[in-house]
A and B are shown apart, each in its own frame.
Chain A
Amino acid sequence: MKTPKERLNRLRFRQTLLSRYLLIILFAFLFIPIVLPIATFAYVIVQENVKRADDSYLKYGSSSEITAMWHEQAALLGQADAASVDRKLEELRLKYTEASLFWVDSSGTTMLQLPPQERLPIHWSPADAVQFMKNSIDSDPFTIVSFLGAEHEGPAFMVMQIPRSIIQLDRPIGSGTPFYVAILLIMIGLFFLLSLLFFRQIRKRLIGLQAAMSLQGNQSLPQPIVISRHDEIGQLETAFNLMVEQLRESKERELAEEKLRKQLIANLSHDLRTPLTVMNSQLYSLSREPLSVNGQTVIKQMELKIGSLDNLIENLLSYTLMTSGRYPIKLEQQDLLRIVRESAASWYPLWEQEGIAADIDLPDEAMLLEVDKAGFRRVLDNVFQNVIRHAKSGSYIGIKVETYEGRLALVIRDHGNGLDAHTSSKGAGLGLAIVNYLLHEMRLDWHMASSSDGMTIYIFEQ
């Protein structure tokens, strides 16, 4: 079986667009030296055929045929008497009805005239004969003079006059020129049509290819296309299909990798949390035992540490997913304040427990933004978590909507010790990195203002 690559290289020259293009160019070059003579030749042949057809159309044949006939008749009448000449002429007159016939005997007397003519002299002097001949040359009617006798020795002669329109078609010289020009025009038109069709076909296929590229099938990948012909565009189409195939494979690989990574993280999460859960439950059992005040404090401390370790694992795993672009973000138009209220509702009991006074002042109007609900909950969770962990001393959390640098911003404020307290404790950096990542993904911006009076976080649209 041939691989597509082999097929690409084994393109026959006569299949190529190049060959067809060269053919057209060749045609154009041959136009003057070949097409013109061909046209001329065709013209001449056609003309000849037409002429022959004309001749056969003539009633009595061409002028030369009639002339030959007349001379022949004259030769036969060499020794005939006047009566047989008359009879002959009458006989001929019956056949050539349009002709005027007469004859002059050896004495120069005009004999039978069919029909009688006025202008003819009764007796022919040599001058009359010369005058008659002179008038007859190239005139209408066509005149044939023949001396009687086998050798046409004369002096008797007979004359036939016949209108030229009967023996000759009225066709001026050069009457075939329009035909000639038409042939040339048709040839030129044919040439243009051919090149137009050639380029139209190329264009159509290129546009088809472009449409196939912008069209997206499943997995948001372009679909392979049917290869129309094995020429250069056919090669392009083959290469395109090859690329689509590779894209699909890499997409599948990516999905498999993503699945594997998620599985790994899920396993890791399970393996790390199971011992924590066991520790937690054992601490709980321990706290049920009679213990000194100091013992209870230690248990409380350990529970806190387990909590923060759990949080750290969570953040670490999430951050791994996020930085590898595997964290699902689905942006939807939502009321940001509604998410804030719901999040605050779940944190409120904890704030109460920790003695943090919540000052929540959110307007009734919705603050509609394109956000991912779960992602934004995560942002708030991390920020609120940091407040509990690092700004408990301030006993305050304020959640408001204010203007920040001319924009409406969600403001979360604490009265802790500011940034130092947040960053010096391990784990906070990761939490804020997640906040940063998620907000960036949701096309939101944030600003952190810190002083010794506490920290304020502004979240606003980019």
Chain B
Amino acid sequence: MHREEEKVVEIRGVKKSFDENHVLRGVDLDLHKGENLVVLGKSGTGKSVLIKLMVGLLKQDEGSITILGKNTDNLKLKELNKLRLKIGFAFQASALYDSMTVRENLEFPLVRNVKNLSRKEINKKVEGLLDSVGLPKTINQMPAELSGGQKKRIGIARTLILEPEIMLYDEPTAGLDPTTCIDINNLINQVKEEYNTSSIVITHDLTCAKVTGDRMAVLIDGQFQAVGPFEEVFAQATNPRIKSFYDYNFIQ
């Protein structure tokens, strides 16, 4: 069981609407240090919105979000940017910069945020990360030349270059073949071990959830209906919607 002081993210009563679409209706969630928390839910339930609120890409209508002890509600941009450096965000579609090579994609956040790095240090870091995601040969390739799985790996490598304490994965296995999904799931676990990160993984893929998650949080109708270990949430589920979510995934 995690102790109270080990929380790195605390979300309390967060609500978010887009016009008449009430996406999050009072969400509470904790992320503990060193754990992988998987947020599950059908498409359009507000999973991605939740992590976008955490990094300040969106603003919640109500509630509070505390990350690494800092309440993000009224942070000034400079403070928010400081906090953002401690959070790695792996986007669903990778969001690699089209006009830059893989090397430039990885270097870009590094040279912008860490001053006085020598070329040798930058190269070492970039090459080391590409090695650890298993794609050292792609260094001079353009994003358009990469496969979907490779893009995801490079996207994760790019977020790791600033050595974040928290990783946020937005649908890391979406649109990938089963073999590549396994690779990405293993990479998520490898990142946790090697970089000692705490992570939130947004997905609707139960295999990914089972393999990568220490705890699950199931988002239905804008609220978490169940939070806990996989077995507890799904095997003993009494909520028919959670059960159907489980059955649908595994019958497939």
Partners in one complex: no
Residue ranges of A at the interface with B (Cβ–Cβ < 8 Å)? none
Chain B residues with CB under 8 Å of chain A are none
